[in-house]
């Protein structure tokens, strides 16, 4: 049985210090937050990114304005945390390479995003999506893999709605150009 939750009421209660109310918000947003972190590049560190995002969101509840919903606001924090993680990884990896230090072997576990996406066509599409520039990939991930609206994507990525619209169209065009042309039998 599903209980309909008035998000504004739950957020107001959480702002007033009701930890049970914040727990409701966490329960509703954990899965999309984790999916966003993985798809935006956090990989195996997605749990840490999500946890940090929830902590920051709780501390910043007073700044939440409710324009596009709590989930979109939280996903903006997840996106920022993921970008910070990716940047720090690049810096660390650059230092390791500069000093000739090798880390251990790659983990044997498959990437969670690869596991979740079944079938060869989906894997190929995901590879092509990952090959796009971050700005193109991020907008497509939000719109189509996280199923966010244009407004929610704008809040999540900190962009104007018109930019989301045009960037989505351009990114789809770039992705389409990467896909092989399939011949339709009988045509």
pLDDT tens digits for 29-71? 999 999 999 888 888 899 999 999 999 999 999 888 877 789 9
pLDDT at residue number 187:
46
What residue ranges define each of the domains in the chain, with the CATH number in brackets? 1-110 (1.10.1740.10), 117-178 (1.10.10.10)
The CA-CA-CA angle for residues 114, 119, 123, to 5°, reads 45
pLDDT in tens, 121-157: 677 777 888 888 989 989 988 888 888 888 889 988 9
**Residue for token pair 């910043």:** 60
Cα–Cα distances (Å) from 161 to 73, 81, 94, 115, in that order, read 15, 22, 35, 32
pLDDT in tens, 88-102: 877 766 655 555 544
The reported pTM is: 0.60
């Amino acid at each position: 049985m599903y209980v309909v939750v008035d998000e504004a009421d739950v957020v107001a209660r959480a702002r007033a210090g009701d930890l049970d109310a914040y727990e409701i918000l966490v329960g509703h947003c954990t899965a999309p937050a984790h999916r966003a972190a993985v798809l935006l590049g956090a990989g195996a560190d997605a749990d840490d990114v999500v946890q940090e995002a929830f902590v920051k969101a709780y501390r910043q509840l007073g700044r939440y304005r409710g324009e596009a919903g709590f989930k979109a606001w939280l996903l903006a924090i997840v996106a920022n945390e993921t970008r910070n993680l990716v940047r720090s990884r690049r810096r660390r990896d650059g230092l390791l390479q500069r000093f000739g230090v090798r880390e251990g072997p790659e983990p044997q576990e498959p990437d969670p995003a690869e596991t979740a996406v079944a079938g060869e066509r989906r894997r190929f599409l995901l590879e092509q999506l990952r090959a796009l520039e971050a700005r193109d990939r991020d907008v497509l991930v939000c719109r189509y893999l996280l199923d966010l609206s244009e407004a929610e994507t704008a809040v999540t990525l900190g962009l104007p709605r018109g930019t989301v619209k045009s960037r989505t169209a351009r990114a789809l065009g770039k992705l389409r150009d990467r896909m092989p042309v399939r011949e339709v039998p009988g045509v």
